Every structure is written in structure tokens, then in C-alpha cells.
Chain A
Amino acid sequence: MSSTTRSSRANGAAAATDRTSTGSNGSRAAGTTAATAKSRTLFVPGNEACAEGALYAGLGFFAGYPITPSSEIAEIMSRRLPERGDRFIQMEDEIASLCAIVGASLTGSKVMTATSGPGFSLMQEALGYGIMAEIPLVIVDVMRGGPSTGMPTQGSQGDINQIRWGTHGDHSIIALTASTNQALFETTVRAFNLAETYRTPVVVLYDELLGHLREKLTIPEPGELPLVERLRTGVPEGVDYHPYLIREDGRLPMSDFGGVHRYNVTGLYHDMWGFPSTDPRTVDELAHHIYDKIELRADELAQAREFYMEDAEIVFISYGSPARTARQVVHQARINGQRLGLLELETIWPFPARMVRDACRNARSTIVVEMNMGQMYYHIRNAVENPRSVFLSNRVDGRFITPKDIRRVLRIVEGQGE
């Protein structure tokens, strides 16, 4: 699989390069599906694009609790899953929703839940369980204004850090995002693939604006996007199966509940049988395993789209719907001869530090565009060689970031006054 795709429009000073960078294991560039005979083209909101991505990936079980602005995903699943003979359940709260999909995942299903910030806060407990017990699952977080009930119907990117740091104990997590419905569809498919590959919860996060933004979505024909199916053990019946014995390639083949192998699953530190252990060596190995299996693959998992980055003197870094605005500003600036570039992150966690550092190396300034108080900004400052060259262009009032907002910060950064 090619790790980089390029598409150039030679147009003098405004030569645009939309380059998508992916890690070597990543699925292909997001947002590149072309219409074919067997593909379907729809005009749908982002939540529906996400739901379609999950169905394409082979979702077999969904549990959820309604919350604005994610409820449409549960509504779609309640209709579509039983049509395929698969299962949907509305649980009593978000805590129960995440617990239920952990249970269903252990029977061999691909599973998902969808929520927003307040629901994600409640899920932190079971998220930690999913990480510790190494359960493949996908959690969609459609971000709204917070803290607390905040602004249910307005966009925000305030959950970036709660996704990474919210559950207690040392751990790592994979979180992906997108800025268009097409990319969101493919990001959701990728989330399922990574969950199965690494036996871990994967978060798909995007903001309310994208969740409710209608635009074109082309659903690729079956087989066009690669799908990762569950790795199951080849150990025959009657032979001791070790559910938590890490293979040389770092993977742990699973055995479905109801199958021939019976084993224990626990949120306690555990040995290769899944039985509780406080043996220092066993604990140390597991602590490193659940952390390293993601953090040591940060470069491989990093995925982003690059716009006009080759000769950019000022680099924007953005993700989700603010990246749409940043893209507009960069395009416009190129027409005016300004050397602006955009790095649009599609992998949020593990933090793509090397990708960010490389992107900013030759830039005079870096401007982070996001809808929060700088949740990615601080991580980006830590990653680059010159933290003092990094600035923030943000909004936290629930309104979409406009080109004017970004240009105002650009003028200040360039010493041109407000």
C-alpha cells in the first residue's frame, strides 16, 4: 500500500499540493474514494457518514444512550443493524453502553458506541477496562461545548485531552478525526481496523459542526477499502490457550466467548491466562505492553493531509471542521502569493510528534487552529524545535471559526497589527 498520495494542480504561484501522509500500516489516504459503478453516492450529515463507515467495516453490535449531537448515529443503527440480523440496544446510560459493547466484543462482534463529551466522561471507567483487558471497540465522540452540559447544539473540540488522559492509570489510546464526510467515513473504517489490529479501544472524534453538516458521501463498493478481521487463535481444543500471551509480532489472537477455550478476563493486572496477578514482573510487562503497543507506533499511526507544505513559511496546524476554514485561508493566500501551508491532522492520539516537528522545521511561525483553549496547541509547542514560534487561533463560543478570525491572528503574528 502506498504510504503517500499526491495530487498536484500546476498553476503558477498557486500550485496546490494536497498530499496525504500516512503511516506504513495505515489504511489509505482518507477522503479519496472515487465514484464507481457499484459505489453509492449520498448527500448526508457527518453522523450518517460515520454510521455508514461503521456498517461498511462490519459493525455487528451497537449499544448507546441518546445524547446531542450524536443521537442520529444510534437512530441509524437501531434501523440498520436488525435489517442485517445484527443487534442494537439502548442502554440505561453511557456507562452501561460501553460495558455492553465490551461484552459483545468478547463474543466476536465488531462493536461501537457513540456519544458526546458528557457521555464520554461517564465512559472513562469502562474505557480503562477496555484498555486493560485489550478489547477491540470503537467509541464515537461528537464533541459539543463543555464543561458539564455546556452547549449541546454547538460545536467544540474540548474533548481532545479527556480522550487521552481521562481514565486513570498509565495507558495510551488511539484517536482519529476528519474534516469532511468522505474522510469521516474512511476514518471510521480505519478505526475498526486499528481496534482489531491492536486489540484496543479506538476513538473517532469530530465536532458537532461536522456531525450535522450535509455534504456528498460516496460509499465505496464492498472490498474497495481493506478491512481487518479479528485475529483468532489457532490453538485447538484441549490445548492450553493463553489469551494474554503476547506473540512475537506484539499481537494477541483472541478466542470468542462461547468457543472452545474458556479463560478469564479482568480489569486487574493479570498473567497470560488472564488471571489476577501482583507479581512485579508480570505487572511491569503488562503496563509496558498496553502503553508501548500504541506509543511506540506513533509514527506508523500518524496520518495527516498536507496542503501547500513544501515551501510554506507559515504553517497552520488544524483538525476537524476548523481545518476546513484553514484550508480556505491557505488557498486564498496562495493566490495572493503568500507562502502559507496547512497540516491537517487525522491522527490525534498517539500524538504525531515527529510529523508535527518535521512540518514546522522550516516555518517562520506555526498557527494552531482549533475550537478550544489550546488543547492541541500545548502538545504542538512541546513537539517543535522553537516553541515560541507557535501561536493559537481559536474560538470557544460555539461558532464556526471564520477566515477572518484566522487572518486576524495571522496579521498579529506577522507584526501587521490587528
Chain B
Amino acid sequence: MSEPRRPVSYYLRERFMPHLWCAGCGHGTVLNGLVRSVDELGLKKREIVMVSGIGCSARMAGYLDFHTLHTLHGRALAFATGVKLSRPELKIICPLGDGDALAIGGNHFIHAARRNIDITVLILNNRIYGMTGGQYSPLSGCGIDATTAPYSTIEDAFDPVKLAVAAGATFVARTTTFHVHQLQQILTQAIRHNGFSVVEVLSQCPTHFGRKNGGLEAVDMLKAFKQDTAPIGSKRLETAPDLTPVGVFVDEDRTEYCERYQSVIDRAQGAVADRAVAAEHAGAEPDRAVAAAGKGAVT
């Protein structure tokens, strides 16, 4: 890991501090890792657009000195798609919570992954809806106590990694707020990746998840992230397959969406040129000679 070239504060909007995250929340750790990886990559602040949804994770956008778009619950990736396709040279980073990514936002998530549009998604997985007061989420899993699960949850959780891979994401990784060095390294890889990149970060919510589930404190939850995870391909994971694998699952080259769209523009403009040539031969005005060149030439 290289030394930061600029202080973290360079990337922050300190005017809008203090932040609203609870003491012990893992989201600040993710913000820290993100800022360090942006610094490591040498990206300019004006080259980055952060698009977030609604929830604790979404407030990250406000505190960062990028172009920031704090949108609707679950819709961040739809807004981000518009920004990216309109200005492909910009880097798009979307911090999403459980609901943003995989409940209300699940449809946008799988379609953005399918398109392989160059957006970096951080799923800040704290297994709970924190902002609204501790209701269960599609990442809570079975047997969890939440304010809407007083008798414990009966629903299994999504595996965001498997879902992202199946939907077509070309970079997929998982890490935790305990693994701060790995977090920065993976975020650097994800942002550098040209395509749809997904990084699931297990993040602790002591206020709601911890309090409802055995009175876990932030430190207990961080320790659990250490104990219950193992690197992909490690001996430890081989001997204890119930551990949660962390690391990079997929890193694949596939032509990115905006680059493919450029080929649409090229084909469309080629067809216009063909029609103009055909029109010249037919002695007609270019834009009235569609029939001369054949309507099918466009597609």
C-alpha cells in the first residue's frame, strides 16, 4: 500500500460534519478505505460522481467532495446509469445499503450488472435497516432478531456475491470493515476495473443489529468478521467451509456498456453516410433517400 499523497480531509466536506453515523458504525471505515483508494489511484475529485440511494450508507455521498447525487431508495444505479452513459469519461461510485442494493433496488442491480456498465458498487452489508430503526433486510438471514422480526426471521439471505456473478458483474469481491487493508486494495481494483464492479463490505451496526442480537458491541462484531471469514482458496476455508469467503471472486474482461454504445453510434452514423451516398446516386436529397439505402441499413 502506497502512502497517501493527500490527507483524507482533502476529500471530505468538513463543513457538513459531524456525520450522522452512530458511534461504532462500520460505514466510516468504508469511507476511509474508499478515500484512500481514490487517492492511491490519483483520481481528481471532479472526475468522480458518487450516486447513493437512501439509508445510512447513502449519507456517505454528502460527506465526500465529489459530484454527489443522493437519490431515491433503491434507484441509485438507475440515476448512475444516466450519468455514466451521458458522460462515459466520469468514474461512478455507488455506496448502497442492504435495501438499496437488493430489496427495492434489486431489479436495478441485476440489470446494471447485466449491462456491464462501468460503475463501482459498494454494498455496505450490515444485515439490518438502520436508518428506519432496525427492521430486517434481505441480507439479515434466518434466525435474526429485528424490530419487524420479534420472533426471529424466517427468511434466508441473498448471497450478494453469487447474485452479482450470476447477473453478469465482471468484478466481484467481498471484504469486511475489519480487513481495512484488504478493503482499500479491493476498492482500488474495483474502481480501476472497466466494467460493473461489486464489492460487498460486511459492516457492523451495533446500534440496531448488535443490540437486538445478543447485545453485540462494535468490537464484538469486528472480531466476528475476523473469526468467521477466510480468504478464498485458503487452507482455513478448505477445512472450515462454513466460514464466509473474502477476496476477489471474479475479475473478468468484457466490453463495457458505454464502449458498446459507441459502436452503436458508429453504426448509426455509418448508415447516415451510406444513405447520403445512395441519395447522391439517386439524385435525391440525403434525408429523403431512406428508401434508396434501405431502412434496414440502420440496424
Contacts and interface: CB of A to CB of B under 8 A. Distances in A.
Nearest to B62: A264
A61 B86 contact: yes
A267 B70 contact: yes
Contacts of B107: 92-93, 96
B70 A262 contact: no
Interface stretch (B155-163, B175-183, B261-269): B261-269
Given A85-B269, A262-B66, A264-B61, A99 B90 contact: no
Interface string A247-263: 00000000001111011
B250 interface: no
Nearest to B109: A92
Interface residues of B, number: 45
A396 B82 CA distance: 37
B191 interface: no
Contact of B49 (A83, A257, A260): A257
Interface in B81-128: 81-87, 89-90, 107-108, 111
A163 interface: no
A96 B69 contact: no
Contacts of A104: 82-83, 85-86
A87 to B, nearest CB: 5
Interface residues of A, number: 45
A276 B299 CA distance: 46
B287 interface: yes
A63 B108 CA distance: 14
Main secondary structure of the interface of B (DSSP, over half): helix
B298 interface: yes
Given A83-B272, A266-B62, 8 more contacts: A60-B86, A61-B85, A63-B81, A87-B85, A107-B83, A258-B47, A264-B61, A264-B68
Please name the 3 residue pairs, one residue from A and one from B, whose CB atoms are nearest each other, closest first. Answer: A103-B82, A100-B82, A99-B78
B16 interface: yes
A18 interface: no
A109 B86 contact: yes
Contacts of A268: 70
B232 interface: no
B68 A260 contact: no
A106 interface: yes
B70 A257 contact: no
Contact of B69 (A103, A111, A126): A103
B71 A99 contact: yes
Interface string A107-146: 1110100000000000001100100000000000000000
A107 B87 contact: yes
Contacts of B264: 82
Contacts of B87: 107, 257-258
A102 B79 contact: yes
B75 interface: yes
B271 interface: yes
A258 B49 contact: yes
Contacts of A83: 268-269, 271-272, 298
A262 B65 contact: yes
Given A63-B82, A104-B82, A264-B68, A92 B269 contact: no
Contacts of A107: 83, 86-87, 90
A99 B75 contact: yes
Given A40-B287, A89-B85, A100-B79, A82 B265 contact: yes
